[in-house]
């Protein structure tokens, strides 16, 4: 996790200039509140970073307290919110039953143990409180993954959790009636290097830690050659499987998972 934190700290200066996908998903996540919820006095935004989602929430909930929490300190310096906490989402420095809503935009994929995260979220939410989040699914960066697989059998791109498994873990930790949705978004690039530069600029170049010998010049060039085979109309695709989920904390009742596709 220290490697991930360091990457996001380094990327914070110019993060917003490259985070067009993250901005778009933050807007789409906020719009889901049109039909899910109407009010919340205290909102906790996990992985708030520079404030892409919390700024949307501030417009929607102008009279609410929005607490922006992130485990990387530098991005929070660029977050305009007045209430900011630098802390680990697995160990929330908040009392039990203290917030009405928890939001999270593209943070969960960096959490090594979702059970721990959901347990903490359940603890700090008030009864009838809402958790709303976005994260990435297994098909994210599938072109990059497949291109590396031709080179060797090592893990070069992070593994993302299937939405069915996320819903199961929410139920296991007490949340009721989780609703999971998925959509596919595709960005296009002129070159593979452009994609890798974008990933680095948002702190996401930390695919899994590996030794330098695994990504020597020859292997790297072979990966690029394989990725070029995906070119369509002169553009290289980069696929993102975006998962949206929400659920409620209720002290009684039995939950079921609802799956929706967009």
Is there a domain that residue 207 lies in? no
- Number of domains within the chain: 1
Q: How does DSSP assign the chain, residue by residue?
A: -HHHHHHHHHHGGGHHHH-HHHHHHHHHHHHTHHHH-S--SEEEEET-TTTHHHHHHHHH-TTSEEEEEES-HHHHHT---S-EEE--TTS--S-TT-EEEEEEES-GGG-S-HHHHHHHHHHHEEEEEEEEEEEE-TTTTHHHHHHHHHH-SS--S-----HHHHHHHHHHTTEEEEEEEEEEEEEEESSHHHHHHHHHHTT----S---GGGG-HHHHHHHHHHHHTT-BTTBEEEEEEEEEEEEEE-SSS----EEEE-
pLDDT at 71 over 90: yes
- Which residue segment(s) compose the domain that 58 sits in? 1-141+158-187+240-249
Tens digit of pLDDT for each residue in 73-121?
999 999 999 999 999 999 999 999 999 999 999 999 989 899 999 999 9
Q: What is the mean pLDDT of the chain?
A: 89
Is there a domain that residue 192 lies in? no
pTM above 0.85, yes or no: yes
pLDDT at 206 over 50: no
Task: Specify the CATH number for the domain of residue 58.
Answer: 3.40.50.150
Is there a domain that residue 86 lies in? yes
Is there a domain that residue 26 lies in? yes
What percent of the chain stands above pLDDT 70? 86
């Amino acid at each position: 996790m220290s490697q991930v934190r360091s990457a996001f700290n380094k990327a914070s200066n110019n993060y917003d200039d490259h985070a067009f996908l993250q901005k778009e998903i933050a807007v789409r996540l906020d719009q889901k509140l049109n039909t899910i919820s109407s009010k919340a006095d205290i909102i906790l935004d996990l992985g708030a970073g520079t404030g892409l989602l919390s700024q949307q929430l501030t417009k929607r909930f102008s009279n609410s307290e929005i607490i922006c929490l992130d485990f990387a300190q530098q991005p929070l310096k660029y977050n305009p919110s007045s209430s900011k906490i630098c802390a680990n989402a697995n160990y929330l420095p908040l009392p039990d039953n203290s917030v009405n809503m928890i939001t999270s935009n593209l943070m969960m994929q960096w959490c090594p143990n979702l059970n721990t995260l959901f347990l903490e979220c359940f603890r700090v939410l008030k009864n009838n409180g809402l958790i709303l989040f976005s994260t990435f699914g297994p098909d994210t960066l599938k072109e990059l993954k497949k291109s590396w697989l031709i080179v060797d059998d090592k893990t070069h791109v992070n593994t993302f959790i299937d939405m069915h498994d996320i819903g199961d873990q929410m139920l296991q930790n007490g949340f009721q009636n989780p609703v999971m949705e998925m959509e596919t978004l595709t960005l296009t690039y002129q070159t593979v290097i452009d994609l890798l530069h974008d990933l680095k600029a948002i702190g996401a170049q930390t695919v899994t830690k590996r030794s330098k010998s695994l990504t020597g010049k020859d292997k790297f060039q072979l990966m690029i050659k394989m990725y070029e085979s995906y070119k369509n109309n002169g553009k290289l695709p980069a696929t993102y499987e975006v998962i949206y989920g929400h659920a409620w904390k209720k002290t009684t009742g039995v939950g079921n998972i609802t799956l929706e596709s967009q």
